[in-house]
């Protein structure tokens, strides 16, 4: 509902910038002032009403993917670099998380990969996937490569099954 209310308020704000008050938008859309008030309060309306409000305000609707900050990657790399003689950059670690195959880079990062499976909370591993910094197939290969145990390994095994 929050997004529905936000959308209506954005439409009315755009109309206001063009000199149209909310009551005028309602009249042009063919809805009563009372109905517009209810829509603003509840965020409930149908697609036809949305189209009429957009048209009445003379604005367009555009859907864009949400930009997700990759903040989890930075936190995970900092934690895994702490106390380890080999330090990895975020780019190096992300590359392994997205396209993991056994390699020299994987050997160099072995303790980090074990740490990912056994030290990093499952919630953060899940966030890496949602933020686009890790791919499930690569995480599964990492788990197999390091003989991962624990909650993250179980979660990956459940997803692979």
The tens place of each residue's pLDDT in the chain, 161 residues long, gives 566 888 899 999 999 998 999 999 999 999 999 999 999 999 899 999 999 999 999 998 888 665 556 789 999 999 999 989 999 999 999 999 999 999 999 999 999 999 999 999 999 999 999 888 999 999 999 999 999 888 999 988 887 76
pLDDT for the residue 88: 95
Domain hosting 18: range is 2-57
Same domain (yes/no): 100, 48: no
* 64 inside domain: no
Same domain (yes/no): 32, 96: no
d(CA 113, CA 117): 7
* 66 inside domain: no
Residue the block writes with tokens 């008050």: 21
Same domain (yes/no): 77, 142: yes
Q: How far is C-alpha 18 from the chain's CA centre?
A: 33
d(CA 77, CA 93): 7
Same domain (yes/no): 106, 150: yes
pLDDT for the residue 95: 94
**Ranges of H-type helices in 18-86:** 22-29, 33-42, 47-57, 71-81
CA distances, 39 to each of 6, 53, 136 (Å): 11, 11, 41
pLDDT for the residue 20: 92
Instruction: Output the domain CATH number for residue 7.
Output: 1.10.260
Same domain (yes/no): 77, 127: yes
Indicate the DSSP class of residue 67: P
Of 121, 108, 136, 107, give the one whose Cα is nearest residue 79: 121
pLDDT for the residue 161: 65
Same domain (yes/no): 41, 79: no
pLDDT for the residue 39: 93
Same domain (yes/no): 49, 10: yes
pLDDT for the residue 84: 93
* 103 inside domain: yes
Same domain (yes/no): 116, 52: no
pLDDT for the residue 47: 92
* 63 inside domain: no
Domain count, the chain: 2
Show which of 57, 82, 99 is a domain's final residue: 57
47-57 helix and 2-17 helix, angle to the nearest 10 degrees: 20
């Amino acid at each position: 509902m929050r997004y529905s209310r936000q959308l209506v308020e954005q439409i009315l704000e755009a109309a206001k910038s063009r000199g149209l008050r909310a009551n005028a938008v309602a009249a042009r859309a063919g809805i009563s002032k009372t109905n517009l008030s209810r829509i603003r309060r509840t965020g409930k309306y149908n697609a036809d009403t949305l189209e009429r409000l957009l048209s009445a305000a003379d604005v367009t609707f555009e859907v864009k993917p949400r930009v997700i900050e990759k903040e989890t990657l930075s936190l995970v790399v900092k934690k895994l670099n702490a106390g380890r003689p080999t330090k990895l950059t975020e780019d190096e670690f992300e590359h392994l998380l997205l396209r993991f195959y056994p390699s020299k880079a994987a050997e160099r990062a072995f303790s980090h990969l074990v740490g990912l499976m056994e030290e990093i909370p499952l919630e953060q591993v899940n966030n890496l996937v949602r933020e686009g910094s890790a791919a499930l197939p690569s995480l599964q290969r990492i788990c197999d490569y390091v003989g991962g145990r624990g909650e993250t390994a179980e979660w990956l095994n459940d997803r692979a099954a």
